[in-house]
Amino acid sequence: MNSSVIAVLRRVDIFAGLNDLELSQIAQLCKVAKAKKGQIIFREDSDGDDLYVVHDGAVEIQVQTRGSDGQHRLSTINTAYEGQAFGEIAMLGGGSRSATAVASMNPTTLLVINGPELSTLCDTNTAIGYRIMRNFINDMIYKLRSASLLLRGHIKWQDNQLSQID
């Protein structure tokens, strides 16, 4: 397997603590995809169970928001760079995508890992599965805390009810 793929996987938080032999097993699941700047990788509310890792380039993670003018627009909530993963929420929890992913550099190279194939690897190699699931949990806790802080910054209590800060 390409050593550059293993080098990128080594930087991914959800694969932290895995040795090169274990990372090579994950690398075997990777498919390479290229995206041009502005290309949509997946849309919010679409089905999908793939996990994506940025090999090179960058990907903006965007959600539908509504401004004070009532207009809906995409707002960037995060940017994933080399060695960062995205798409894990739909992969782990099933259901639809919670955000839209858009390539923000030209070109952007992605490693695409099929969710069911990764789950099978985790089931058959419990050492890999345990470490990945523990890392997923840590990542989700971090994102939940960050989202909670962001939400708190945009709401206020008014007459014992929540309201949006203007």
What are the pLDDT digits (tens) for 11-52? 999 999 999 999 999 999 999 999 999 999 999 999 888 999
pLDDT top residue among 5 and 156: 5
In this structure, is residue 137 part of a structural domain? yes
pLDDT in tens, 70-107: 788 888 888 999 999 999 877 776 778 989 999 998 89
Q: Is 143 within the bounds of a domain?
A: yes
In a domain, 155, yes or no: no
Q: Give me the domain span that covers residue 133.
A: 1-147
Mean pLDDT of 116-134: 95
Is there a domain that residue 161 lies in?
no
Residue 153 resides in a domain = no
Assigned token pair, 123:
């089931």
Note the pTM of the prediction, 2 decimals: 0.84
In a domain, 107, yes or no: yes
- Per residue, the 3-state secondary structure of the chain, as one string, reads CCHHHHHHHHHCHHHCCCCHHHHHHHHCCEEEEEECCCCEEECCCCECCEEEEEEECEEEEEEEEECCCCCEEEEEEEEEECCCEECHHHHHHCCECCCEEEECCCCEEEEEEEHHHHHHHHHHCHHHHHHHHHHHHHHHHHHHHHHHHHHHCCEEEECCEEEECC
Is 141 within a domain? yes
Report the number of distinct structural domains present in the chain: 1
Does some domain include residue 163?
no
Residue 119: CATH number of its domain: 2.60.120.10
Average pLDDT of the chain? 87
Tokens describing residue 8: 């990128």
